[in-house]
Structure 1
Amino acid sequence: MASGNPLFNEKAYEEALCRTQRCEGIMTLQGTINKAFFLLFLCMTGGVLGFRHYQAWGAFLIPIALVCLALAMTVIFTKKTAPLLAPFYALGEGLVLGMISASFSTLYDGIAGQAVTITLLVFLLMLFIYKTGLIRVTRGFSTGVIAATGAVALFYVGSLVLMFFGIHVSYFTENTTTNLIINIIICVIAALNFLLDFKFIDTLTSEVAVPKFMEWYAAFSLMVTLVWLYLDILRALGRGRSR
């Protein structure tokens, strides 16, 4: 089964399947959840530091973001590095989010706390929906979310390319009603990705044998979706406040 999160795919896990008896430990659902919450704790710790010391860290925003990107790419292509690099990624990404949140807070008081609360509630809501089966993660549902996620990715990449060549992209600069609606739709798509990710992890931990280090990789992948959701929720709240 495929997942909307590009870091969750059958090839990624197939490469790490325990095909012999040499695996030192097996990936479990509970272990993955524990590591996901640990990375979340590190991310929030970094967020607090970045938020409180925005003036001191502000000049390092782009370098830290680039380091986080390098760490993420390393984990994606060398999955065994996840236990070592995922915590550093979470902490660094937290610093970046904290600084971005601080800049938003200078314009909209209390917006960062609202965004954090909403993001965590959405994550827990998606986990509840998955556990209770309120939304069934069928093949058709998965295909739809994957297609929507791909469209969002193309939109972001295309926008960055256009802005690199000096072409104005209104979505990132103008707080229109249309942009707010698009923003909310993107938040919904990000949230739905959690259902696919939970299903994929559940399937792997119950039907196949995967090495223990993949718990870190899975937790890291969930963190990527969480960061995406938070940033778009923050942007949506900012647009709502500006109206």
Structure 2
Amino acid sequence: MRTSSNPAFRNLPGGQGGYAGFDDRLGGAAGATAAYRQMSSPAGLEGAPPTERPITVDDVVTKTAITAAVALIAGVLTALAGPSFAWVVLPAFIVGFVISLIVIFKQSSNKALVLTYSAAMGVALGGITGLTERLYPGIGTQAVIGTAGVFVGMLVVYKTGAVKVTPKFTKWLMGAMVGVLVLMLANFVASLFGANLGLRDGGPLAIIFSLVVIGVAAFSLLLDFDQADQAIRAGVPAKYAWYIAFGLMTTLVWLYIEILRLISYLRGD
């Protein structure tokens, strides 16, 4: 039994009681949390009720593609709008963050919520990219290609079994993620007091740290793929393809931001 580093995937149908138990929790929503709950192996899931079509690989691929396309289109349009549209970055991030909490806490597979999240994050990232483009022309395209490349690369790694998603691997990755988050928090707190830990100043240490963060985000995709694979094998309802797409999107947003940051460091030299 494995858990994903992505909070969204931890709430996929599973655990004791199978799909029926999950559906009850979904209806009760208010008491549910986005805590790191474990997802049972396929044998422990009851799958979709007879009246609902089970999820397929095509469902996941299609919904993920649509979600990513919405974010990409929103991002490109925002970036092309120019600096005068930069004020939307913070509001868009807030909207995306609030919606992500709603989706995770309510375990929602609502298509409108997922697409709104993607559009909001696309606008936010597009605004940041547009501003960065003024300093480093073409950096947005480079970051998009880099993110897509990492996604495809990790999918190949997962499908070929080059890296096995085992409980040991999951524990190692979770430890790495906690370590990265602690360092980010420490760097932020230090900056409030005028100190510089060198993790985000564009220097050699910042480049190394950014590469580590990208590595952690990339490997977390393996856990996301594995959780999606378990859901498909378990035959959960097709509607949860939107929830899986949302989970993958959150990882891709994190990956894009870090790749954009790394490229700005490298081109700044």
* Superposition TM-score, scaled by structure 1 size: 0.90
Q: Which residue of 1 aligns with 2:23?
A: none
CA contact (8 A) 2:83 2:130 kept: no
Partner Cα separation in structure 2 for residue 216 and residue 26 of structure 1: 13
Partner Cα separation in structure 2 for residue 218 and residue 156 of structure 1: 27
Point out where structure 2 has 5 or more consecutive residues left out of the alignment. Answer: 21-45
State the one-letter code of the partner of 1:191.
Answer: A
| Deviation at residue 173 of structure 1 after TM alignment | 4.8
2:214 aligned to which of 158, 167, 187: 187
1:116 aligned to which of 144, 163, 177: 144
| Deviation at residue 172 of structure 1 after TM alignment | 6.2
Partner Cα separation in structure 2 for residue 195 and residue 223 of structure 1: 14
Look up the SS of the partner of 2:108 in the other structure.
Answer: helix
Q: Which residue of 2 aligns with 1:178?
A: 205
Partner Cα separation in structure 1 for residue 186 and residue 4 of structure 2: 22
CA contact (8 A) 2:88 2:127 kept: no
1:148 aligned to which of 170, 176, 180: 176
| Deviation at residue 230 of structure 1 after TM alignment | 0.6
Look up the SS of the partner of 1:13 in the other structure.
Answer: coil
Q: Which residue of 2 aligns with 1:238?
A: 264
State the one-letter code of the partner of 1:116.
Answer: V
Matches within 5 A, 1:1-243: 1-9=2-10, 11-14=11-14, 17-19=18-20, 21=49, 24-161=52-189, 163=191, 165-171=192-198, 173-206=200-233, 208-243=234-269
| Deviation at residue 212 of structure 1 after TM alignment | 2.5
In the TM superposition, what whole-angstrom CA distance separates every residue of 1:65-123 from its partner, at most 9, and x where no partner exists? 11111111111111225322010110111111111111111111211111111110110
CA contact (8 A) 1:79 1:214 kept: no
Partner Cα separation in structure 2 for residue 38 and residue 25 of structure 1: 20
Higher relative contact order (CA 8 A, sep 6+): 1
| Deviation at residue 158 of structure 1 after TM alignment | 4.5
| Deviation at residue 55 of structure 1 after TM alignment | 2.6
State the one-letter code of the partner of 1:156.
Answer: M
Identity %: 29
Partner Cα separation in structure 2 for residue 214 and residue 37 of structure 1: 15
Going from structure 1 to structure 2, the CA distance change for 1:131 and 1:57 (only over 3 Å counts) comes to: same
Point out where structure 1 has 5 or more consecutive residues left out of the alignment. Answer: none
State the one-letter code of the partner of 2:214.
Answer: C
| Deviation at residue 12 of structure 1 after TM alignment | 4.3
CA contact (8 A) 2:88 2:123 kept: no
CA contact (8 A) 1:17 1:211 kept: no
CA contact (8 A) 1:17 1:209 kept: no
| Deviation at residue 29 of structure 1 after TM alignment | 2.7
Look up the SS of the partner of 1:80 in the other structure.
Answer: coil
Going from structure 1 to structure 2, the CA distance change for 1:68 and 1:162 (only over 3 Å counts) comes to: farther
